[in-house]
Chain A
Amino acid sequence: MYEFRYHRPETLEDAAKLFSECGDPLFLAGGQTTLPVMKQRLASPSDLIDLGRIPELRGISLSGDTLTIGAMTCHEDVARSADAKSAIPALAGLAGDIGDPAVRSRGTLGGSIANNDPAADYTAALVALGASVHTPSRVIAAEDFFTGMFETALEEGEMIVKVAFPAPRSAAYVKFPNPASRYATVGVFVAGTREGVRVAVTGAGPCVFRAGDIEAALEGDFSADALRGVSVSPDGLNSDLHASAEYRANLIGVMTRRAVARAS
């Protein structure tokens, strides 16, 4: 780790102001990616701006059909939240299966989606549920938020305040973990929403994506049987030590069938 300056502002305004004043700052959420990367000297911010003391970034609330989660809410809090469990049990389950207890107690929703790791779990939930990402100045639809590998629609210095999730009729998330890292080799979030069936895939490609063919097959018949004959192409999927594109394509099919079976 190189030397850096550490700040802990208590308001969004102070955080934004600090960011604009520092040379090469980074926001620090749970630090579950930022800190290891800094330790390996792969990132060297001049300043870390810790968002942990800003009250409006925390908390979980349910209003009507909308579950709202503050950006600095840790995974463990989402997993244990009565509101999350009642409104979107698949989301609470997803949060409870990220990493390990230490990661879940430090890692945050906002940090995860701002990082947009191709194998992160939350990204699939946001896209499948049609969530919206709130920043101090605007609201971004999840599908527009994740723009590429480790890339998002956030502007330089723009913070995530909260994410609003409309509760679906039914939903499930099933992932196949990487044997070493336990990140999602492939994770599939299926949701029956007001706008129809939405299926988002994480881990398989450079960025979370919706599986249009699968959604179409499920639209009229939300059952695992409806997926017979739907083949997934390996084109454009990731290929690495643990999983080739062909294997990932297979896993998308298998994880989707299992998610549909669980959701229906």
Chain B
Amino acid sequence: MEKYGIGQPVRRKEDARFITGAGTFVDDITRENLAHAFVLRSPYAHADIGRIDTSEAMAMPGVLAIITGADWIAEGFAPMPTKSAVQTKIDGSKLNQPPRHPLAIGRARYVGEPVAFIVAETRAQARDAGEAVEVDYEEREAVTDPAKAIAPGAPRIWDDIEGNFCLDFELGDRQATDKAFEDAGHVVTLELRNQRVTAVPIEPRGAIAEYDSATGRYKLHNATQNVHANRAAFAGVLNISPDELHHIAPDVGGGFGAKNSGYPEPPLLLHAAKKLGRPVKWINDRNESFQSDTHGRAQDSKVELALDEDGKFLALRTATIGDIGAYCWTIGPFTPTAGSARTQGGPYYFPAMYYTSRAVFTNTMPLDPYRGAGRPEASFQIERVVELAARKLGIDPVELRAKNLMPADSLPRKTPMGLDVDSGDFPKVFGRTLEMSDRAGYAQRVEASRERGLRRGFAIAPYLECTGGSPKEFAGVKFAKDGTLTLSVGSQSTGMGHETSMPQILAATLGLDIAKISYVQADTQATPIGGGHGGSRNLEVGGSAVVTAANEIIGKAKQIAAHLLNSSAEDMSFADGAFADVKTDQSVSIEDVIAASLEQARLPGDMEPGCLDTGAIFEREVISCPNGCHAAEVEVDPETGAVQVVGYWVVDDFGTIINPLLAEGQVMGGIAQGLGQALLEEIIYDPESGQLVTGSLMDYALPRADDLPAMEMEFFEDAPTAKNPLGVKGAGEAGCCGAPPAIVNAVLDALAGDGVTHIEMPLTPQKIWRAIAEAKT
């Protein structure tokens, strides 16, 4: 039993299924009489839509229905909701939120925006018919760059929204910050970009909708990260009660935020399924995914750091323009505002900070959270400006950082951004990372690289981040007569391994065999509420809900145990899967108590069979603050600009580690995506036409296995948080926070001798080569 306890590297129960191709993803599901949908998408970034002639397409073989924007509006459906936690501008007025319908209404505002929805007997027939739909487009001037979008004279994306402006935002003490800058010994300023990227989950989005005319209920199998919130969103659009929609996510092949939100296709599918009286399936292809999955990052920032004469940080001032695309989407306005503000300044001690930002519309695919949603951006901003300050002031970047980390005895501390940092030891984690990275041997490694014609660089990047997502979670446990039990939780794994980690928590708390626990998630009928996936929230709120449920079960089980032992519940102790009478030492196993709980004859009179079945809700009061430190060593080939990350070290403080295998997997995956952001990935729209230039994997560079270094990682577990019963801090997004600054700063360290001080991400070979060439002249 011990090996399934908290902290054990339990192997993933779901892997056998995934590795052998036995998972059930949306596209693995089929139905009798299934029809297939195709989304006709706008080929223009900005165009008025005149007449849409569907007559020829409707006459084609197998075509069942074609829905246009005009058809949709005629049904009286509501727009898709925006649920950003930030809803007002600095002046208190409401953010500018244009209506977002599943189909473009009268005007297309980004390449890939749905224009018509075609349903046919086969997918190929639907696509054939899509090519026969005649749409009169009148092209308009497009604007894809956020700075240009807010400049005077820019094309207006929404007629009633001036300056393509969604909202502005501020946080922190502006006056105190400005004063600190006036008095500062040094001010270092850096303008930088967290470039637009996309998640590229291995499974594209897709869904199957069904409608039962007998009951009037809908069913939706959907590759989503959040069945409950999206059920509410889709029901709202269709003017039905959420109870009328059963929303299920089967196995989902990666999300990273790109499957969080309310997309256009599911309401269209639900409507079509009802209209046709047939189940309808739709699966996005990879090219469509680049156009129509929400994008991430896309922030241009001016970061200013004020230091005193000795290099102590006095204040940080950040001004960001956040591109949110053509619509507010689901929580698009949140990321460049509060999402990026909270962790400004990272793990450093700042007496004053001020963050301000503007969210701006452009003729591009809208933004929504992408792994980290603002925290990786903030981490990159602070770490880059600190690195630059060290070089400008002639201080060792390692020393400058060490000098300014929040000391352990300064915690708990509320940062000037209002973040409640309750636990951790940043200097210790920083020091351990340095130790792991073998600084003593570095000079020799630099020399060895030099002999091979390569430049070697090193950087260390401590980070501070925070969790997010819905604060409430439900866990339910049901016991069966055969000794098995079912655990249902409202959070969702899209590959993170909840099927293992959540039963592990339950098994450890109840002292049961993990093999007896089956796991259910992402089904609106299985849990009354559910916050799905996002914000590294699962262990913190989902895991805590499991503990809460388990403790309730133990409380009830004590009454049964007492009854079985002719004792009283107050005298029952519970340890190692057995209840014991503290007075008599008589004991009974939990398995036996569970068996008794299902038989009236063995229960106390006031309890009924099934009385151990439990549903519990945990609600987080304050978000936790995962933190840690990354360090990277890179080799740069100055002749080609190619970079290889050759060393990587991480120490993470995620509080208590439930399963180190899974935690390491989260860190590695986050580093891979962070490396992608640092060196390879960028969504590029043509500035003139607004066409998506990086619309396939031939042009959008994802990291491959051979791009990644071997990573040495450790966990610092001496500072669990008291914010939740497990003491966990959330591990899912941390890798993305540490990797971009560690890798970018290491490359710039390698190029310091060449006189290169800044290169915008991604640091591609061409950009590095050019920067070296330009620094020479």
Residue ranges of A at the interface with B (Cβ–Cβ < 8 Å): 1-3, 40-41, 176, 178-181, 241-244, 247, 250-251, 254
Contact = CB atoms under 8 A, between A and B. Distances in A.
B241 interface: no
Interface string B692-712: 011001111110000000000
A3 B124 contact: yes
Contacts of B770: 247
A181 B698 CA distance: 4
A1 B702 CA distance: 26
A156 B702 CA distance: 38
A247 B639 contact: no
Contact of B769 (A2, A40, A179, A250): A250
23 contacts: A2-B128, A40-B287, A41-B127, A176-B640, A176-B765, A179-B679, A179-B765, A180-B680, A180-B698, A180-B699, A180-B700, A180-B702, A181-B699, A241-B684, A241-B694, A242-B764, A242-B766, A247-B769, A250-B639, A250-B640, A250-B769, A251-B640, A254-B640
A93 B262 CA distance: 49
Contacts of A243: 766
A2 B127 CA distance: 10
Interface of B: 124, 127-128, 287, 639-640, 642, 679-680, 684, 693-694, 697-702, 764-766, 769-770
A94 to B, nearest CB: 18
Contacts of A254: 639-640
Nearest to A182: B704
B769 A241 contact: no
Nearest 6 CB-CB pairs, A to B? A180-B701, A179-B701, A181-B698, A254-B639, A247-B766, A180-B699
B209 to A, nearest CB: 25
Given A181-B697, A247-B770, A250-B769, 10 more contacts: A2-B128, A41-B127, A179-B679, A180-B694, A180-B702, A241-B693, A242-B764, A242-B766, A243-B766, A251-B640
A179 B287 contact: no
A176 B680 CA distance: 15
B773 to A, nearest CB: 8
A250 B766 CA distance: 10
Contact of A1 (B124, B679, B694): B124
Nearest to A247: B766
Contact of B699 (A1, A3, A241, A247): A241
A38 B128 CA distance: 14
Contacts of A241: 684, 693-694, 699
B644 to A, nearest CB: 12
Contacts of B128: 2
A243 B640 CA distance: 11
Contacts of B698: 180-181
Contacts of A250: 639-640, 769
A40 B770 CA distance: 35
Nearest to B285: A39
A180 B697 contact: yes
A176 B287 CA distance: 26
Contact of A244 (B642, B694, B766): B766
Nearest to B639: A254
Contacts of B764: 179, 242
A179 B639 contact: no
A263 B684 CA distance: 39
Contacts of B642: 176
B771 to A, nearest CB: 12
A257 B765 CA distance: 18
A70 to B, nearest CB: 29
B777 to A, nearest CB: 13
Nearest to B767: A247
Contacts of A2: 124, 128
A1 B123 CA distance: 10
A180 B290 CA distance: 14
Contacts of B765: 176, 179
A180 B683 CA distance: 12
Nearest to A100: B704
Contacts of A242: 699, 764, 766
A179 B640 contact: no
A250 B642 CA distance: 13
Contacts of B702: 180
Residue with the highest number of chain A CB atoms closer than 10 Å, among B124, B287, B697, B766: B766
Contacts of B693: 241
Nearest to A258: B639
Contacts of A178: 701
A12 to B, nearest CB: 33
A181 B679 CA distance: 15
Contacts of A3: 124
Contacts of B701: 178-180
Residue with the highest number of chain B CB atoms closer than 10 Å, among A40, A176, A179: A179
A181 B640 CA distance: 17
A250 B693 CA distance: 24
Given A242-B766, A251-B640, A179 B680 contact: yes
Contacts of B639: 250, 254
A83 to B, nearest CB: 29
Residue with the highest number of chain A CB atoms closer than 10 Å, among B127, B680, B701: B701
A204 B691 CA distance: 25
B762 to A, nearest CB: 9
Nearest to A183: B698
Nearest to A3: B124
A242 B700 CA distance: 10
A179 B697 CA distance: 10
Contacts of B769: 247, 250
A243 B769 CA distance: 11
B635 to A, nearest CB: 16
A238 to B, nearest CB: 13
Nearest to A242: B766
A179 B698 CA distance: 9
Contacts of A41: 127
A185 B31 CA distance: 46
A254 B642 CA distance: 12
Nearest to B679: A179
A53 to B, nearest CB: 27
A153 B295 CA distance: 44
Nearest to B694: A241
A113 B578 CA distance: 72
B628 to A, nearest CB: 28
Contacts of A181: 697-699
A41 B128 CA distance: 10
A196 B189 CA distance: 57
Nearest to B680: A179
A126 B700 CA distance: 30
A179 B641 CA distance: 12
A41 B287 CA distance: 12
A180 B639 CA distance: 20
A242 B762 CA distance: 11
A33 B17 CA distance: 32
A258 B655 CA distance: 50
Contacts of A179: 679-680, 701, 764-765
A131 B7 CA distance: 62
A256 to B, nearest CB: 12
Contacts of B700: 180
A152 to B, nearest CB: 22
A119 to B, nearest CB: 10
A46 to B, nearest CB: 16
A242 B764 CA distance: 8
Nearest to A243: B766
Nearest to B765: A179
Nearest to B697: A180
Contacts of A180: 680, 694, 697-702
Contacts of A251: 640
B763 to A, nearest CB: 11
Nearest to B682: A241
A120 to B, nearest CB: 14
